[in-house]
Amino acid sequence: MEPVLYIPLICIFLFILFFILYRRKNYYPYTARHLLTKREYRFYLLLKEVADEYHYIICPKVGVKDLLAVTDKKQYMKYFHKIAQKHVDFVICDKDLYVLFAIELDDSTHETRDARKRDHLKDKAFAAAGIPLKRITDIDKKQIRKLFR
């Protein structure tokens, strides 16, 4: 093979190599998704009607780490990691964004052993912090009104 033919082959090889490396560096396998599930959104619409009567603000899908602070500084990381990846479905705040209570919309996914353990941890953590964590299973306006009492 003529040495002159190697030049285009090398150029093609380098182009392909550059393209592969560049693509890997700029590859982000993400797509947008809805913030709430259909069930959560149906609940949100009813919750909003009631919350608006009180001029309260609804914050959906709030991280527990954004609501609770770890007080044990010696074991901070241990207790922080227990709540770091958890969230509550909704948080109800007053007009100054003071947290009044949190809501968990429980369904059949909360019946597994692991889910019950997670729920128990949340219940204890919120109780320790003095923030009511209210659980609801039915998407019913009467039940939602009871949350605000």
pLDDT digits (tens, 9 = 90+) for 13-65: 777 877 777 666 667 889 999 999 999 999 999 999 999 999 999 999 999 99
pLDDT digits (tens, 9 = 90+) for 107-145: 877 788 998 999 999 999 999 999 999 999 989 999 999
Residue 66 covered by a domain: yes
Tell me which residue range forms the domain holding 96.
38-147
Residue 87 covered by a domain: yes
CA atoms of 110 and 67, how far apart (whole Å):
21
Domain count, the chain: 1
Contact present, 40 and 105 (Cβ < 8 Å): yes
Residue 84 covered by a domain: yes
CA atoms of 144 and 42, how far apart (whole Å):
12
What is the H or E stretch that residue 62 is in?
Answer: strand 57-63
Domain containing residue 68: CATH number: 3.40.1350
Residue 133 covered by a domain: yes
Residue 11 covered by a domain: no
The pLDDT of residue 2 is: 67
Residue 129 covered by a domain: yes
What is the H or E stretch that residue 88 is in?
Answer: strand 87-93
Model-level pTM? 0.80
Residue 1 covered by a domain: no
